[in-house]
Amino acid sequence: MNLKKEFDSLIIPLIKGLPITIVLLAIAIFVTRRTIHYATYSYQANGAIKIDNRDFNLPAFNINDKSAVVPTSSSNLMTELEIFKSKKLLKACFEQLDFTVSYYRVGKVKTVEIYDQSPFTITATVTDQSLYGKLLYLEYLGDDKFAFRSSNDINAPSEVIQFHRTWRDKNISITIQKNIKLLAAKKNVLQTGDLFAFKVNTIDGLVSNIGEENLFIKAVDKDVSIIKIYYTDEVPTKAQAFTNALMQTYIDESNKSISNQSQQALSFVNEQLKTTAGQLKFAEGKLAAYKTQNGIINSKQETDASLKEIVQLDIQRVGYEMKENELKRLYDFLASGQSLQDFSPNFEALDDPIFRENYLKVQNYEAQKKDLLIKFTEQSEEVMTIVEKINNTRSFLNASVNNTLKNIESNKNSLANAMNSINLSIQDYPDKEREVTVLEREVKLKEQLYTYLAEKKAELSISNSAKRSFHKIIDHAKVPTNHIWPNKPLAYGLAIFLALLIGFLISFILHFFFASIKDKETLASLTEYPILSTVSKIKNQDQIATAYGSLHTNLEVLKKEPAFATNSPIVSITSLQGKEGKTLTAVNLASSIATSGKKVLLIDMDIRKPNIHMALGMDNHTGLSDLIQKKCEAKDAIQASEINNLDVLTAGDLTSIFPAIVYGDQTTNILKSFQHEYDIIIIDTPPIRQVVETIPLFHQSTINLLLLKASYSKVRTVKQLDAYLEDFKIPNLHLVLNNVKGSTTKYKANKTKQVNFKFTFNQIT
């Protein structure tokens, strides 16, 4: 029984709803197929670049170590990732690409970008800023002529433009050139009536279209300095071109940055070298003049440790001055409050990886602020948060530069004190010898400084002429051959899943609201109440006796049970709702029993809609209501029907009496008085769910029949039948299934004295 219930509740709704599910599947597959066909395909190109993330000191600033290039620290790979996403690098990338004009072929359903597959190229100069990024349309008229219009409306004003001739108005000037190579390879690529579109882009507009949805950059591993670049576009060749250009631009910008730093250092060294050369010449002249004036031919050379020490100290002083010069330049720019994206400090000169990391953070924050201001106001929480980060980091940079300048100044003072101490130590020499020593020392100092600066100039010149970037593209992007969107398996799978899900839901919903009882087996699986009989569907009058003969027979068998043994049983007939054939069954059952020779009284107690008098062609002037109100005697209210042995007590005007009185003790006494005169009393009562006041009558009846109509009574209603009737405790309640196509049942007592017999009638056609 449990398995059958599971089958009925799960499998049957799916089987009945199978046509709906199949239709939904067909629709889903068709819609998915058309959607994929007309969708804009996306292709993803990818490349890989090896990042040399070591920081290098330029030789000009490595004062104490004369080696050419020395790695000093490792920079943060995440910083390089942010550089790839920076607006500055993206702008430089688009400046290298020919994306100024985008070309499209316009179809009936969708517009597709054709990039390098355009049969023509356009050179445009825009004076009206509103035209940037706007689609403009060209319809090929044949004979090397185009109709130019600003919208896709064929009725919009148009201008005729010829190949290789410039057309202009106050907003834009356009020159169209043939793509000779493509036209030669594909002769049908340009036909009369073809509609194209193009738009003129700005660098800022192109940059603003780059986001996480189409540009994804990631490090292969935190311990491996390799970065993967993924770029998605609807044109495969365009995706490849941008990916390769971005990697090459990153290398070029790195080279440019190194070159700029080297050039700045070289300019400073040249200036110092020029000054030192003048100072050396002056010192040599001064020494020669002193020797000539005093007749000194040979002098004692200053070779002691004091002279060597003061020379080294002087070289250190020059190094501090060079570093101080770069810091002051940076400090002045920080104090101006300008965007750090417009300034590139010489990080090698500063030799501070922490400072560099925070400087790049500020640049990144400022780029984020610029992006946020496109969507939010300056007072928004998002913008104020990023501004606070910028201010805090700039404050750190200011403090860092200021502290470094103070340290340099302190170190310079220490050097000056040390040099003064050495100078005082040699003042004990004889006057002429001391003067010569001082002059020779100054000449030697200037010579060594000049030689040092000349060496650095040579090193910087070599460094500046060579490419210093150690980044390397290890995997160039290739033209993608397979699209990543739409994902056909995913799209079809999702469509089929949703179609099945919706189909199943609709099937269960329809089954829940509209499924009806079809046969006795279905009814038996839904309720614990015994089924007395089924009544076949009646198509003509000749079938009435056969259809209700089964119910009559099973009722006779039931009456023989000890619990129902009585000379004049009272049979109450009801239903859950209207239109289930309750009145028709009461009349036909009474007629069938009367025809068998038994005296039958049929009573209409349906206060909702009494119909027995209409079914038998009788009047309803006097009836049960008059007996209850004692307006007449029973013999005056009961009417004889045309059928022998069948008397009828119509309802009368029961609406004027409270239902509790109609189905109360007074009526019960009236019924008992009839039991002495009739073999059986059949009562037609209102639907039990609409008139619950009939419950006391059912407790006084010998047999209670609850009528259900096949193909009408709902499954969901019957499922609730046991729970609904449990509180009423109606005794001797049996079910009758009316209007069944097929078999009837014959009553039989079971072990619990309940009934469930059946015998089969031939199906009436």
CA distance 434 to 746: 146
pLDDT tens digit sequence for 345-355: 665 556 667 77
Cα separation values, 169 from 126, 166, 172, 176, 268, Å: 10, 10, 6, 15, 52
Check whether 201 has a pLDDT greater than 50.
Answer: yes
**Bigger pLDDT: 546 vs 112:** 112
Cα dihedral angle (268, 270, 273, 277), rounded to 10 degrees?
A: -140
pLDDT in the model for residue 606: 92
Mean pLDDT value of segment 312-339:
78
Check whether 699 has a pLDDT greater than 70.
Answer: yes
148: exposed, middle or buried (Cβ count in 10 Å: 0-12, 13-18, 19+): buried
pLDDT in the model for residue 751: 31
Cα separation values, 735 from 146, 574, 610, 705, 741, Å: 84, 10, 22, 6, 17
Q: Are strands 646-649 and 639-640 parallel, antiparallel or unpaired?
A: antiparallel
pLDDT in the model for residue 142: 92
pLDDT in the model for residue 62: 43
Task: Work out the pLDDT band at 632, boundaries 50, 70, 90.
Answer: very high
Q: Are strands 570-575 and 680-684 parallel, antiparallel or unpaired?
A: parallel
pLDDT tens digit sequence for 384-400: 888 888 888 888 888 88
Task: Work out the pLDDT band at 742, boundaries 50, 70, 90.
Answer: low
pLDDT in the model for residue 72: 37
Task: Work out the pLDDT band at 427, boundaries 50, 70, 90.
Answer: low
**Bigger pLDDT: 434 vs 405:** 405
Non-local (6+) Cβ contacts of 735 within 8 A are 523, 527, 529, 530, 531, 532, 705, 706, 707, 708
Taking Cα atoms as reference points, which of 743, 707, 698, 744 lies closest to residue 554? Answer: 744
CA distance 180 to 463: 45
Q: Which fold has domain 520-740?
A: Rossmann fold (3.40.50)
**Bigger pLDDT: 413 vs 457:** 413
Mean pLDDT value of segment 277-293:
80
Q: Are strands 646-649 and 120-126 parallel, antiparallel or unpaired?
A: unpaired
7-21, 218-232, 330-344, 524-538 — which is least confidently predicted? 330-344
198: exposed, middle or buried (Cβ count in 10 Å: 0-12, 13-18, 19+): buried
The answer to whether the beta carbons of residues 140 and 196 sit under 8 Å apart is: yes
Residue whose tokens read 């002037």: 621
The answer to whether the beta carbons of residues 367 and 86 sit under 8 Å apart is: yes
CA distance 439 to 275: 18
pLDDT in the model for residue 542: 67
Examine residue 489 and say whether the peptide bond preceding it is cis (omega within 30 degrees of 0).
no
pLDDT in the model for residue 74: 41
Tokens of 597: 């020779």
Mean pLDDT value of segment 753-763:
29
pLDDT in the model for residue 469: 66
CA distance 602 to 542: 22
The number of beta carbons lying within 10 Å of the beta carbon of residue 628 is 19
The answer to whether the beta carbons of residues 274 and 450 sit under 8 Å apart is: no
pLDDT in the model for residue 498: 95
Task: Work out the pLDDT band at 763, boundaries 50, 70, 90.
Answer: very low
The full 3-state SS of 581-624, as one line of letters, equals CHHHHHHHHHHHHHHCCCCEEEEECCCCCCCHHHHCCCCCCCCH
CA distance 126 to 618: 97
The answer to whether the beta carbons of residues 175 and 185 sit under 8 Å apart is: no
Check whether 573 has a pLDDT greater than 90.
Answer: yes
Mean pLDDT value of segment 576-605:
92
CA distance 670 to 605: 13
CA distance 619 to 550: 30
Check whether 303 has a pLDDT greater than 70.
Answer: no
Mean pLDDT value of segment 443-449:
81
Helix axes 544-559, 582-595, angle to 10 degrees: 80
pLDDT in the model for residue 234: 94
CA 345-347-349 angle, 5° bins: 100
Check whether 205 has a pLDDT greater than 70.
Answer: yes
pLDDT in the model for residue 58: 44
CA distance 713 to 331: 90
pLDDT tens digit sequence for 513-568: 888 888 888 888 888 899 998 888 877 776 777 778 888 888 888 877 776 666 68
Check whether 333 has a pLDDT greater than 80.
Answer: no
Non-local (6+) Cβ contacts of 366 within 8 A are 339, 340, 341, 390
CA distance 450 to 530: 120
CA 571-577-580 angle, 5° bins: 70
pLDDT tens digit sequence for 47-96: 999 998 665 444 444 434 444 333 333 446 777 888 898 999 999 999 99
pLDDT in the model for residue 746: 45
Residue whose tokens read 């067909």: 26
Q: What backbone torsions phi and psi does residue 630 show, to the nearest 5 degrees?
A: 60, 40
Check whether 111 has a pLDDT greater than 70.
Answer: yes
DSSP 492-515: HHHHHHHHHHHHHHHHHHHHHHH-
The full 3-state SS of 124-138, as one line of letters, equals EEECCHHHCCCCEEE
pLDDT in the model for residue 53: 66
CA distance 10 to 14: 7
Helix, strand, coil percentages for the chain (3-state, nearest 5): 50, 20, 30
CA distance 589 to 602: 10
11-25, 94-108, 129-143, 458-472 — which is least confidently predicted? 458-472
Average pLDDT in the chain: 83
Mean pLDDT value of segment 660-667:
90
Beta bridge partners of 219: 227
CA distance 298 to 660: 149
CA distance 732 to 723: 17
Ordered strands of the 472-475 beta sheet: 215-221, 224-233, 43-50, 472-475
Check whether 748 has a pLDDT greater than 70.
Answer: no
Where along the chain do its domains lie? 2-36+490-514, 47-89+98-235, 246-475, 520-740
Give residue 482's identity as a one-letter amino acid code.
N
pLDDT in the model for residue 73: 37
pLDDT in the model for residue 331: 77
**Bigger pLDDT: 106 vs 343:** 106
Non-local (6+) Cβ contacts of 126 within 8 A are 132, 171, 172, 200
Check whether 475 has a pLDDT greater than 50.
Answer: yes
pLDDT in the model for residue 128: 92
Sign of the alpha-carbon dihedral angle for 59, 64, 65, 66:
positive
For the chain, the straight-line distance linking the first and the last C-alpha, in angstroms and rounded, comes to 32
pLDDT in the model for residue 69: 39
pLDDT in the model for residue 127: 92
Give residue 628's identity as a one-letter amino acid code.
I
pLDDT in the model for residue 208: 93
HSE-CB for 418 with a 13 A CA cutoff: 17
| Size of the chain in residues | 765
Non-local (6+) Cβ contacts of 408 within 8 A are 320, 323, 324, 327
Non-local (6+) Cβ contacts of 410 within 8 A are none
Give residue 565's identity as a one-letter amino acid code.
A
Mean pLDDT value of segment 603-630:
91
Mean pLDDT value of segment 658-684:
91
23-27, 543-547, 669-673 — which is least confidently predicted? 543-547
Q: What backbone torsions phi and psi does residue 306 show, to the nearest 5 degrees?
A: -60, -45
pLDDT in the model for residue 423: 73
Taking Cα atoms as reference points, which of 746, 731, 716 lies closest to residue 576? Answer: 716
The answer to whether the beta carbons of residues 689 and 576 sit under 8 Å apart is: yes
Q: What backbone torsions phi and psi does residue 704 show, to the nearest 5 degrees?
A: -115, 125
CA distance 641 to 648: 7
The secondary structure element, H or E, covering residue 34 is: helix 18-38
Check whether 670 has a pLDDT greater than 50.
Answer: yes
